[in-house]
Amino acid sequence: MKAAPVHAAFQHAGIPHAIIHTGQHYDEAMYKVFFEDLGMPRPAIDLGVGSGTHATQTASVMVGLEEFFTANRPQAVLVVGDVNSTMAAAIVCAKMGIYCAHIEAGLRSGDWSMPEEVNRAVTDTVVDLLLTPSPDADRNLLAEGCPADSIELVGNVMIDTLMVHLPRARALDVPGSFGLPPRGYAVLTLHRPSNVDAPATFARIMGAIAEIAHELPVVFPVHPRTLKQIQASGMQATIDAAKGLVLCDPLGYLEFLSLTSGARMVLTDSGGLQEESTVLGVPCLTLRENTERPITIDEGTNVLVGTDPGKILAAATAALRGDHRGRVPDLWDGHAAERIVTALTRRLA
């Protein structure tokens, strides 16, 4: 979702470029449909990294990229987000002397138990250009000693994708396929290890979700990791017994956007959905103790509820009353990719 608008902006500017797919997100349903939905070309190469420990994934990406960049040396590399591939690519570029820019730089949760926080900090330390989505990210980078002239506030590139595809997504009427009216349901996503790998934590969250589902249907597209934990923890019977809880396979980008854009509220431990719900004006209950996207709380529709059932239910009740109000942050306007390409080409020139 973050690479697609940058690809389009490069195309529009007539700048040759290639997309490298590391294969870290390796499930067929979770990545091929995204390329098709977003109109992206096939990647120049798929490294096929697949699953493994953090060290295994990071090392495999580094080896694959070093080989590819040796044979096909680029003028610059853009890395996106906060996954292992992001950090691995940034380190390879630093070692090979290739100019590197980080899209979504400067986001911080302050929680070093999150692997993504390590990836963010390492990436931002070694890249040349820090492309930030919001002013809090600029402040984080300056506080860490990053040179001010290496930072460019460009806005949120994922919102570019949302704005382009929202009409197509709504036309799909995915809520209708579930027999649900607009604003007549909630959406749940859950996949973080801290939430689904610990049976007690997982059970607390799902207990609260089951209570919400008695009042409002909850559609739950189940991530492959989460499905595995449901089966391993013996929670399937509890979930089956929860009235109003509707499980389904992972959805493509357009289908999922169709679902979330019509929701009464979303409950999630994802980062991107905190941002998308803010732009859509949909109340978001984040099932985490912290967030690297505080602007979605300060200005948007997001509320941190953690994993405490009481807090989850209280926030859900407030959302149903319509207590959540927010605004769309500055530069989340659908033109971030254009600013990214302009910033990069200006500096390379």
Tell which wins on pLDDT, 303 or 236.
Answer: 303
Q: Residue 307: name the closest of 168, 193, 171, 208 by CA.
A: 208
Q: Same fold for the domain at 3-156+332-348 and the one at 162-321?
A: yes
* Amino acid 324: pLDDT: 74
Task: Please tell me the distance from the alpha carbon of residue 349 to that of residue 336, in angstroms, as a whole number.
Answer: 20
pLDDT in tens, 317-345: 999 998 777 899 999 999 999 999 999 99
Task: Please tell me the distance from the alpha carbon of residue 273 to that of residue 156, in angstroms, as a whole number.
Answer: 13
Average pLDDT over residues 96-119: 96
* Amino acid 238: pLDDT: 81
pLDDT in tens, 112-128: 999 999 999 999 999 99
* Amino acid 236: pLDDT: 86
Question: Which of 59-73, 186-200, 322-336 has the highest mean predicted lDDT (pLDDT)?
Answer: 59-73
Whether 261 shows a pLDDT value over 80: the answer reads: yes
pTM > 0.85: yes
* Amino acid 305: pLDDT: 97
Q: Domain 162-321 has what CATH class?
A: alpha beta
Q: Residue 186: name the closest of 283, 90, 305 by CA.
A: 283
Whether 30 shows a pLDDT value over 60: the answer reads: no
Say whether 324 is catalytic: no
Task: Please tell me the distance from the alpha carbon of residue 77 to that of residue 95, in angstroms, as a whole number.
Answer: 13
Whether 84 shows a pLDDT value over 70: the answer reads: yes
Per-domain residue ranges of the chain: 3-156+332-348, 162-321
* Amino acid 110: pLDDT: 95
* Amino acid 298: pLDDT: 95
Q: Could you tell me the pLDDT band of residue 39, with boundaries at 50, 70 and 90?
A: confident
Catalytic position from the list 17, 25, 191, 335: 191
The lowest-confidence range among 109-118, 222-231, 303-312 is: 222-231
Percent of the chain with pLDDT over 90: 81
Fold designation for 3-156+332-348 = Rossmann fold (3.40.50)
- Pairing type for strands 284-286 and 218-221 reads unpaired
How far does CA 21 lie from the centroid of its chain? 16
Tell which wins on pLDDT, 98 or 193.
Answer: 98
Q: Could you tell me the pLDDT band of residue 38, with boundaries at 50, 70 and 90?
A: confident
* DSSP designation for 329: P
